[in-house]
């Protein structure tokens, strides 16, 4: 934003992916502006990219290289392994990155992406949707002065039982890698760094994580994408001598998240100052996922 309060020149963003999440979130949010402009769309399915680009008034790039030529930042709405393969190329081309969680499907892929970012010095930001909602930010502000002995959290839904989300990596790795980053991020932010972690259960059905945080607090995380619920049940509750502090994000209106996400990404790109939720945060979460995955007995 300039000195007169105007948003300045919009950040030209290229979108990789044209699936349901790209069409529902990434594309419309980036095209809405005013801080960003959706410059181009590229996907492995050219017909899907062409349809989405036409709907949003963007250019349908014929190759990934052409997309990189038409933007100054790249947003990824693709499976984690595809992101891990393509994002380092964008970083080495000097493009800022708007990254999905998890960074990759394995620790090696995430490290390669983080290394490419470190070498190029580009700005990164994670689409950890709940973090951009006003209620989440109010909760974390209150949590900073709340003496918590422990926490219980849950993220439960039935999206893996059928529909657009019941495909590919989500069915293979289950709730741990899809829903886990949200809860691990929140308990880490609310209670402090996770020093010990143990997982029990089957990530494809129901998995429980127990975390010991620096300072002694303990958190319990319940995760499943394969239970028949009419709507998701998701939230975190802290317990301590003063009582409880809770956040329910099962029915979060994501429309309140997108303006903050878009504005903060554009501000980070223009200033060159990393966002707090950058690739380093993503790498920390990836390491926790890897630790949990190695204790998952399935």
Q: What is the pLDDT of residue 295?
A: 66
All structural domains of the chain: 11-128+255-278 (3.40.50.720), 134-252 (3.30.360.10)
Which pLDDT tens digit goes with each residue over 166-213?
889 999 999 999 999 999 999 999 999 999 999 999 999 999 999 999
The whole-number average pLDDT for the span 228-244 is 96
Return the C-alpha torsion angle 33, 103, 282, 189, nearest 10. 80
Instruction: Name residue, tokens 């995760």.
Output: 223
Q: Which residues pair with 120 in a beta bridge?
A: none
Greater model confidence, 7 or 275: 275
Give yes or no for residue 298 having a pLDDT over 80: no
Q: What is the pTM of this model?
A: 0.94
Q: What is the pLDDT of residue 251?
A: 77
Q: What is the pLDDT of residue 235?
A: 97
Give yes or no for residue 1 having a pLDDT over 50: no
Which pLDDT tens digit goes with each residue over 241-293?
999 999 999 877 888 999 999 999 999 999 999 999 999 999 999 999 999 98
Q: What is the pLDDT of residue 55?
A: 98
Q: What is the pLDDT of residue 294?
A: 80
Give yes or no for residue 296 having a pLDDT over 80: no
Which pLDDT tens digit goes with each residue over 19-55?
999 999 999 999 999 999 999 999 999 999 999 999 9
Q: What is the pLDDT of residue 3?
A: 39
**Average confidence score pLDDT of the chain:** 94
Which pLDDT tens digit goes with each residue over 120-168?
999 999 999 999 999 999 999 999 999 999 999 999 999 999 988 888 9
Q: What is the pLDDT of residue 5?
A: 40
């Amino acid at each position: 934003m300039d000195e007169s309060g105007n948003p300045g020149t919009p950040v030209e963003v290229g979108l990789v992916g044209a699936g349901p999440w790209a069409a529902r979130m990434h594309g419309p949010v980036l095209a809405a502006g005013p801080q960003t402009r959706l410059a181009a769309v590229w996907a492995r399915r050219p017909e899907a990219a062409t349809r989405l680009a036409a709907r949003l008034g963007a250019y349908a790039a014929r190759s990934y290289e052409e997309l990189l030529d038409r933007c100054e930042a790249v947003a990824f709405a693709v499976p984690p392994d595809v992101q891990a393969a393509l994002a380092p190329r964008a970083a080495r081309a000097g493009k800022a990155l708007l990254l999905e969680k998890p960074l990759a499907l394995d620790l090696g892929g995430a490290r390669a992406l983080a290394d490419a970012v470190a070498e190029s010095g580009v700005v990164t930001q994670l689409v950890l949707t709940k973090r951009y909602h006003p209620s989440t930010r109010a909760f974390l502000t209150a949590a900073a002065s709340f003496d918590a002995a422990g926490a219980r959290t849950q993220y439960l839904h039935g999206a893996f039982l059928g529909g657009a989300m019941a495909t590919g990596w989500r069915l293979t790795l289950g709730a741990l890698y899809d829903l886990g980053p949200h809860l691990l991020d929140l308990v880490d932010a609310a209670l402090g760094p996770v020093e010990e972690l143990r997982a029990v259960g089957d990530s494809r059905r129901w998995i429980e994580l127990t975390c010991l945080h620096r300072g002694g607090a303990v958190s319990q995380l319940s995760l499943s994408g394969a239970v028949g619920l009419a709507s998701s049940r998701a939230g975190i509750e802290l317990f301590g001598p003063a009582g409880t502090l809770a956040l329910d994000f099962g029915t979060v209106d994501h429309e309140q998240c997108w303006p903050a996400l878009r504005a903060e990404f554009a501000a980070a790109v223009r200033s060159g100052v990393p966002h707090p939720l950058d690739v380093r945060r993503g790498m920390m979460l990836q390491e926790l996922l890897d630790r949990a995955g190695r204790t998952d007995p399935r």
